Structure 1
Amino acid sequence: MLTLLIIGASFIGVACLVGGVASIAFRSEGGSAVEDRLDMLAGLSNPAQAKKKDEINLLTNPLGETNPFEEWLAKSFNLRLFLQQADTKVSPAKLALMCAGLAGAGVLLPIMARLPMVFAPLGLLLGPIPFLYFYMKRGRRLGKFAKQLPEALELISRALRAGHSLAAGFKLCADEMGSPIGDEFNRCYEAQNLGQPLEDAIEEMTDRVPNLDLRFFATAVILQRQTGGDLAEILDKIGHLVRERYKIYGMIQSLTGEGRLSGAVLLGLPPVLAIVMWRLNPGYLSMLFTDPMGHQMLAAGVVLQILGALVIRKIINIKV
């Protein structure tokens, strides 16, 4: 039974890690239909551009930093791009070593401390912690970028009305705006300053920052450079649209606050209560780890917790 418990805990740990990776992969593809439509309108969805995206960029992948593990992982998920979006210098190989090291330490420490063997497989749950940390850091950075975007668009619009070029507007945004949007626009400006076409530099910025509003901006700029028009007025309208979307998003957050708080309480109460009961009366809770029926109840409880978390997330996660 202990072997089955270890196998089950290992499966849960790996499933959590794979689920986190998959959630980010699917999340970055949110609004893919709209983005594909924008790419088609901007003339970006062609085989030459797709082939170009698959090539290794020497500016982001310095010589000697690629390895077979990263090449294998890049076929399904671009972990290097994920770490760049989290604004960290940790390489994919180092992240994998950190996850494996924490998982191994979580298994060995209970054994060395002579704790009950049930704690050994639970130590595998420490493995995804570095990945989850960078996932949250990435989410905070992308959220801050989205909040800064309307002001950046208005700044570029005012620069265009003052007679500056679009590249000069990017440089002004890079100098005046803080991180992360200032860093991204500065990187875009430096790329075109070194000879890369501005359209390609903007497209690469949309790849680095998976933001639908930024995709609208990139499409508007590329279309304007191909067909002409008042880009300053277009940027004003896009900035106004983004601000209105954030107002609606704030209303949704306030209306779903009760559901999010209820989900946090319902998900946090069972483990906290289990720890309290273990401290007060270990024998009362030990039946879950010693009796075969307790093992089944514990496994059912974990599965129901995960299902409950998914259902609550589905209810409160409203797309704007």
Structure 2
Amino acid sequence: MITLILLPLMGAMLLAWGLFQVIMDLRSAKQRKVVDRLTENRSRSRDQEVKDSLLRRRASDMQSGLLDGVVSRLSVVTKLQHILDQADVDWSAARMLVNISALSLFVGALLLFLQVSPVSAVAAAAATIALPLLWLIRKRKKRIRTLVEQLPDVFDLLGQALRAGHALGGAIQLVSQQMPEPIAKEFSRVFHEQNLGIKIEEALLNMANRVDQMDVRFFVTAVLIQRQTGGDLAEVLDKIGKVIRDRIQLLGTVQALTAEGRLSGWVLLALPVVVFFACLFVNPEYARVLIDTPSGRTMLGIAIGMDLMGMAMIKKIVNIKV
């Protein structure tokens, strides 16, 4: 009976998801044609790639226009879009939510169709939602960490360019050409936004909102104050760069001193799992009580929850902000 219900349900979900993708592709036909015309030359420079990225993001936003009007008021969607921008993923929040939800429902329905237990099907569907989000958060964290490590060299280059007589816009373009990713793409985006008619102050504020990191906000604030009151911006950038270098060095020292605590957390997290599987291998009847009986499953769930809670507490203790 359940098979007769799940088969039409899975077919309807796949059909609805396919129709959504077709409609969104049709809505963005003109934008894709523009991008294709601009990307005919395969030997593109970094500046051209940033322009194409801006155009693709615009096309993606128009693709999800039907959903954005409905979900844009939700704070979780705004936060997700912010994370996508920080991770440099050219998707809108609405489209990602639709794809993740469709995939999760499909996985859950498929497992139920294969006669997997409902609890396992729900857990797999939840994991299908969680894994892309965890990947996105990890990608954002890695990108921002790399970007912050590049900031002192960026400030040195900006100071040298300003002392050589370049305007701020020219210095920003020089950073976008000379520095590696990901900082080069952020400054290149600022430069091209300025060329498209946006004030440089607004373009810098957009970068600060995208990155959402204290050191970048220091830089943007220094530039905004200098453009209003005057002063030697190159000297200010040199001092900010020195402060960031000292802070990165101190952070490395702190991480080295707290490495033992982090390792202890991972050991404590893995130890119950290793012991359980060892008991399951040595004496299966003894260990399967935790799986086959309701009270055993309850205790197993409580143990997993307390294990994760302990890991979170250890991480909170050793995560010292500098």
In 2, the alpha carbon distance for the partners of 1:128 and 1:271 equals 21
In 2, the alpha carbon distance for the partners of 1:245 and 1:191 equals 31
Q: Map 1:169-208 onto structure 2 (within 5 A).
A: 169-208=171-210
In 1, the alpha carbon distance for the partners of 2:191 and 2:91 equals 25
Q: Runs of 5+ in structure 1 lacking a partner? A: 1-57
Contact 1:95 1:130 survives alignment (8 Å): no
**In structure 2, do the counterparts of structure 1 residues 103 and 92 end up closer, same or farther at CA, with 3 Å as the change threshold?**
same
Which has the larger displacement, 197-206 or 63-72?
Answer: 63-72
SS in 2 for 1:244: helix
Q: Map 1:293-304 onto structure 2 (within 5 A).
A: 293-304=295-306
In 2, the alpha carbon distance for the partners of 1:138 and 1:95 equals 16
**In structure 2, do the counterparts of structure 1 residues 140 and 114 end up closer, same or farther at CA, with 3 Å as the change threshold?**
same
What's the counterpart of residue 88 of structure 1?
89
Contact 1:188 1:205 survives alignment (8 Å): yes
**In structure 2, do the counterparts of structure 1 residues 108 and 194 end up closer, same or farther at CA, with 3 Å as the change threshold?**
closer
**In structure 2, do the counterparts of structure 1 residues 310 and 174 end up closer, same or farther at CA, with 3 Å as the change threshold?**
same
In 1, the alpha carbon distance for the partners of 2:200 and 2:59 equals 18
Q: TM-score, normalised by structure 1?
A: 0.74
Deviation at 1:104, TM superposition (A): 3.9
Contact 1:150 1:243 survives alignment (8 Å): yes
Q: For this pair of structures, how many residues does the alignment match?
A: 263
Indicate the percent of aligned positions where both proteins have the same amino acid. Answer: 38
What's the counterpart of residue 38 of structure 1?
none
Contact 1:81 1:208 survives alignment (8 Å): yes
For 2:96, give the aligned amino acid.
L
Contact 1:99 1:131 survives alignment (8 Å): no
Deviation at 1:282, TM superposition (A): 3.9
What's the counterpart of residue 144 of structure 2?
142
Q: Runs of 5+ in structure 2 lacking a partner? A: 1-56
Structure number with greater CO (CA < 8 Å, separation at least 6) is 1
Which has the larger displacement, 142-151 or 113-122?
Answer: 113-122
Higher helix fraction (1 or 2): 2
In 2, the alpha carbon distance for the partners of 1:219 and 1:295 equals 55
Deviations 1:149-200 (A, max 9, x none): 1100110000000011111000000000111110000110111122211111
**In structure 2, do the counterparts of structure 1 residues 313 and 77 end up closer, same or farther at CA, with 3 Å as the change threshold?**
farther
Quick one: which of 192, 207, 232 aligns to 2:234? 232
What's the counterpart of residue 156 of structure 1?
158
Deviations 1:35-66 (A, max 9, x none): xxxxxxxxxxxxxxxxxxxxxxx959743423
Q: TM-score, normalised by structure 2?
A: 0.74
For 1:190, give the aligned amino acid.
H
Higher radius of gyration, 1 or 2:
2
Deviations 1:131-159 (A, max 9, x none): 10011011111111001111001100000
Extract structure 1 runs of 4+ deviating beyond 2 A. 58-66, 72-78, 89-122, 124-127, 268-286, 289-293
In 1, the alpha carbon distance for the partners of 2:233 and 2:291 equals 66
Quick one: which of 115, 127, 131 aligns to 1:125? 127
Contact 1:150 1:239 survives alignment (8 Å): yes
Deviation at 1:272, TM superposition (A): 4.1
Contact 1:69 1:93 survives alignment (8 Å): no
Contact 1:73 1:79 survives alignment (8 Å): no
Q: Map 1:308-319 onto structure 2 (within 5 A).
A: 308-319=310-321
SS in 1 for 2:91: coil
